[in-house]
Structure 1
Amino acid sequence: MIRAIILALAGLLVAATPLSPAQRFGPLFRDVQMGGIFPDSKTFADAEPRRDDAAILAAYRRCDCKDDTALKAFVLANFTLPVTPAAPPPSRKLTLPAHIDALWPQLTRTLPSVPAGSSALSLPRRFVVPGGRFREMYYWDSWFTMLGLQVSGRQDLVEDMIVDFGSLIDRYGRIPNGTRSYYLSRSQPPFLYLIAGLSRDPKTLAQRTRWLRAEHDFWMAGAADLRPGGEHARVVRLADGSLLNRYWDDRDDPRDESYREDARLVAATPGRDARAMYRDLRAGAESGWDFSSRWLGDGRTLATIRTTRIVPVDLNSLIYGLERSIADACRALRDTACTSHYATAADARAKAIATHLWNPAGYYADYDLDARKVADGRTAAMAFPLFAGLAAPERAASTAKALEALVGDGGLRTTLVDTGQQWDDPNGWAPLQWIAVQGLKRYREDAFARRIATRWLATVTREYDASGKLLEKYNVVARLPGGGGEYPLQDGFGWTNGVTRALLAQGFTADGGRHNIRHGRRRH
């Protein structure tokens, strides 16, 4: 009863969710995005209105904006477009660690308040952005970035970002995909327990635990009323009563930041329910794997996306970690009821993962709600149960063998399917390298972990030597810049910086340890 009262009171304090630009500007937003006035759909979503919405919409109704030139002129007269800071000049003199350390100030932002009408969400403390078109703080990106910040001696920034994430929980009851109003309808892979765990301030444990419990409430909303076979938003209860989670989005219209891409895809896909398809696209964005063959009905074509029909192994491994983390924190706070509740939930989830997310061929995989069976596809997500520590030793060893097929000359591939989507073969991504390396190390697969880490570092180092840049993703088959997806390859780049810096700090090097990479100037 007391818990329910506290939650009810907390709910009163949650801020009203601000409308997104698409919701506020309706036909104007649709016309600008569908007209392709700006090459990147995110540009107009991030624009700031020069006057109030009603005045702009009234002016638009009077506007004779029949062609792209007139429409763009109207936008420029009524909105301030976002400016992406120029990328730092390529460095040829600094070593890779020193270059990363020099990037942190260039990627650090402060935004204690935002202009009226902006889609940006304010944050009380400093934060680090990924870079390029990504001008705001992102959820799961940030944990990998923060790993590097700690190694670089920037615990001050780490503590600031923890406060920022807590402020989002306090205001909105969730961590949005990113700090924009159009991201508030969805979250991202729940790394808050790991983000909060980076704090070195023991006095904030109670507060951080409260944030983690609020995050868990968000993901589990509706679970209490589910019967076997039932589904609600992000939670599903399987026929045997197992409670697991899936990705979802509270909206079912085109994403503001990819409006044109979503609308065109749905229009070109007759026979599918448009609202359901929009939600599946949005849920794919919540997964962080936007997009991947994991979510595609035919395993190849984006038009067959069905993200909400998949129970992902990585998501459920992370929520297991969240539940275990809350139980441990409550134990430290001497809250026995809380400890018991979340420890029981974690044990039940571990059992459900072992039962439903294990492929008899010998690896962890997603569960298909419609087929009522585990998927066959091998993806880098199979490393998450190892990372979370919920795998039995024999299953960890078997999964490690299955993971071998995904290793390229330049690191761990995302999947074995080349669809042209950015979370598929031949791309490799920094976060998945870290998850696999740490998961393998946890189960004493040290040689395999070293092979992935050193190949990845060799790929990053090769590109840095060639261009002076760190990139969002890489082709780990050919050891080249990555490709695919809805937007051009970005450099900066938050999580690549963080994972690279953290792997180097663990003693991994680009050539397996024979060359000593030192801080400071590169020796020639």
Structure 2
Amino acid sequence: MRIRKTDTLKTLLAQEDTDGSNTITIDDTGPKHYTVRGENGETLEVKGTYYLANLLQEVWLGNGELDEEKVFMKPLERVDHLMKTHYWHTLSRRMDADNILATLSDEKRSSDKAYLYVPAADSDGLEYYRRITAAHPQIEIVELPKPPFSDGLLAEIDRKPGLLALKYDKTADAPLPYVVPGGRFNEMYGWDSYFIALGLMAHDQYYLAKGMLENTAYQIKYYGKMLNANRSYYLTRSQPPFYTPYLSAFYRRYAQRLSENWLAEHLGIAIDEYQNVWMNPQTHLFADLGLNRYFDEGQGRPKETEPGHFDFILKQYAAKHGLSLEETERAHDEGRIKDADLDRYFVHDRAMRESGHDTTTRLDDVCADTACVDLNAILYRVETDIAALIADYFPQGFEHRGETHTTEQWQQKAQARCNAVQQYLWNEEDGTFYDYNLARKTQNRFVSATNLLPLWAGLCSQEQAERTVKSQLGTLLCAGGIASTAPIGAEVRGPERQWDYPYGWAPHQILIWEGLQRYGFEQEMHEAAYAWVRMIVRATVEYNGLIPEKFNVVKGSHKTDVEYGNVGAVFDYVPAGGFGWTNASLVLGIAKLTDAQKAELDALADKIP
């Protein structure tokens, strides 16, 4: 059907978008019945919020040719179609000549120049980035030496915040692409990339998934770690170490398109990351326990946080030092206030940001002292994945840096970790795993979604899995999916934190579904996946296709009033790519539903006016 795009948009919005949001949602009070008029006199009747929102999207995306079938697609098919054809592309970035200024843009920190940091050892990358920035005098390229980076260099870099280069592909004469979490982000994030890649692989987006994996390997090679994100102020911390699980999943999915030499290169980088980052006793390893912690090598207040983020804690020290709140923050940043307690608070806060759970009561003011269940479950998976890759593809042993790595050696590492987890993290009385605080020499008996991650990693016995599900899942599973934690007690003072109850996040859902399925909890898996997917599908049906960063899973709503806002909740016409790992959770979650559950979700389209 051929239509006049501009005229149709104008009349459709004038009639149906009564709140002026450039979307059509259940909050609008129009007649919810619009007649599309084609250029040749034909008409199309569209009724109901969901179908009118589809119409708006199709008119906006199209060139004047309206595909009626897409307007009347059922929700599950439509969201899958939009992800494949629009969302992943919208969230993709590439640091090439056409986009370098946009990718350098940073809403967290600004400076007088646009600084682009490029590894000095990457001669091809240096030549390329110099070439494409020659016409932009506001961009200054800074050559970065090999890690580790001295405190002095990190302090100098902190005064010049900028973007860290990603991998340049000489064959294509272009940097590799990557997918950002959501529309306001321009940088590539660490653990987000693993979950996004699961969604990409489900949609067979080979080149995007490969580009992100190789960009992660580039970070480990040249910056010393998989970064929180490729900004200069993240050089001091990583994120949950999903690079090896990513490598394993990707290679096993696409082995026919890749060479064994490619695998060998990336397996070597995975071993380097494990040894140099996570097994470093100066930063991440509790050698006496044989377990690991999150840590950040930086000092002081993390400068990328929003203004006022630390007011709650700084007020206590302002009173102590007889200064205003603003002056306390400034004086501490400049080193004019020496306060060991405040310094220690920021050590814990930075470590918590490496965990990806920024922020949560579970890790607030304790993280750097804590052997976390989630981290040690992930590292057990790293060890077992490396053991399995060697067994399957290098059965005679894997040679790396003059050392022969065998399956048996990596299985022994995994077993040693398993023994330590049993000793320090398993709680026989409560029947679950808990974080262990080394400073206090006690477990933190805190109900959290992360306590279920040993099931995903295959780290527990069947009996432990059964007891953990019984003790944790019932408390955490809400109408809209799995909450990050149990309800926070009234005795906990401070701001509401986005990785606490009542909020739920995609990575927890994905990992816990896999863990439940691994140990045979099919009914519980279906129930948990359905709760989460239903909440998202309902949001897409009622709110013009919306797919945001996080949800209030108790209310089953995207409408949240908590730190950092809710990326993806506000847009014009068509969602700006949704949100990366939420997209992936929807694709993966739908695959875990029964046919009856899928039919119920599709029926939501016709249950709202």
Q: Which residue of 2 aligns with 1:440?
A: 516
1:18-417 mapped onto 2 (5 Å cutoff): 91=57, 93=71, 95-101=78-84, 102-112=86-96, 117-118=115-116, 119-124=162-167, 125-197=176-248, 198-199=250-251, 200-201=254-255, 202-203=258-259, 204-223=262-281, 232-238=282-288, 242-258=289-305, 260-261=307-308, 264-270=311-317, 273-296=341-364, 305-331=365-391, 332-333=393-394, 334-335=396-397, 337-339=404-406, 340-360=408-428, 361-402=430-471, 403-417=473-487
Where does 1:465-476 land on structure 2 (aligned, <5 Å)? 465-467=541-543, 468-476=545-553
Higher deviation after alignment, 378-387 or 265-274: 265-274
Q: Which has the larger radius of gyration?
A: 2
- After superposition, the Cα gap between the structure-2 partners of 1:256 and 1:208, relative to the gap in structure 1 and judged at 3 Å, is same
Aligned partners of 2:590 and 2:598 also within 8 Å: no
Alignment check: 8 A CA contact 1:421 1:484 kept: no
2:549 is the counterpart of 1:477? no
Does structure 1 conserve the Cα–Cα contact (< 8 Å) formed by 2:526 and 2:593?
A: no
CA distance in 2 between partners of 1:221 and 1:351 (Å): 17
Give the alignment's TM-score, normalised by structure 1: 0.74
After superposition, the Cα gap between the structure-2 partners of 1:515 and 1:273, relative to the gap in structure 1 and judged at 3 Å, is same
CA deviation string 1:4-41 (max 9, x = no partner): xxxxxxxxxxxxxxxxxxxxxxxxxxxxxxxxxxxxxx
Matched residue SS, 2:405: helix
* Partner of residue 495, structure 1: 581
Deviation at 1:90, TM superposition (A): 7.6
- 1:314, distance to aligned residue in structure 2 (A): 0.4
Q: What letter corresponds to residue 343 of structure 2 in structure 1?
A: R
Distance 2:579 2:591 in 1: 18
- Equivalents in 1 of 2:219, 2:448: separation in Å? 31
- Which secondary structure state, in structure 2, belongs to the residue aligned with residue 117 of structure 1? strand
Stretch moving more, 185-194 or 368-377: 368-377
List runs of 5+ in structure 1 lacking aligned partners: 1-87, 224-231, 297-304
What letter is aligned with 1:487? Y
Q: 1:430 touches 1:495 (CA, 8 Å); kept in 2?
A: yes
Could you tell me which residue of structure 2 aligns to residue 15 of structure 1? none
- Note the C-alpha offset of 1:269: 3.0
Deviation at 1:485, TM superposition (A): 4.4
Q: Per-residue deviation at 1:263?
A: 5.5
State the match for 1:486 in structure 2: 563
Alpha-carbon distance in 1 for matches of 2:233, 2:588: 32
Q: CA offsets per residue over residues 430-485 of structure 1, 9 Å max, x none?
A: 11001111100000000001100000001101111121210100111110115354
State the secondary structure of the residue aligned to 2:286: strand
2:484–2:505 Cα contact (<8 Å) kept: yes
When normalised by structure 2's length, the TM-score is 0.64
Name the stretch that deviates more: 253-262 or 473-482: 253-262
Q: Do the aligned residues in 2 keep the contact of 1:249 with 1:279 (CA within 8 Å)?
A: yes
Give the Cα separation in 1 of the matches to 2:353 and 2:555: 27
Number of equivalent positions:
415
User: Contact conserved, 1:255 with 1:262, CA < 8 A, in 2?
Assistant: no
The aligned amino acid for 1:206 is A
CA root-mean-square deviation? 2.6
Contact 2:529–2:593 (CA<8 Å) still a contact in 1? no
Change (3 A) 1:265 1:508: farther
Q: Percent identity?
A: 30
How far apart in 1 are the matches of 2:599 and 2:482? Answer: 22
CA offset at residue 306 of structure 1? Answer: 2.1
Q: C-alpha distance in 1, partners of 2:594/2:201? A: 17
Counterpart for residue 27 of structure 1? none
Gaps of 5+ in 2: 1-53, 59-70, 102-113, 117-161, 168-175, 318-338, 399-403, 489-494, 569-577
Distance 1:180 1:490 in 2: 19
Aligned partner of residue 414 in structure 1, secondary structure: coil
CA distance in 1, matches of 2:523, 2:270: 34
**How far apart are residue 503 of structure 1 and its match?**
1.9
Match of 1:462, as an amino acid?
R
By how many angstroms is 1:170 displaced? 1.4
Distance 1:387 1:89, change over 3 A: farther
| C-alpha distance in 2 between matches for 1:413 and 1:392 | 24
Relative to 1, partners in 2 of residues 1:484 and 1:290: Cα closer, same or farther, differing over 3 Å? farther
The offset of 1:140, in angstroms, is 0.6
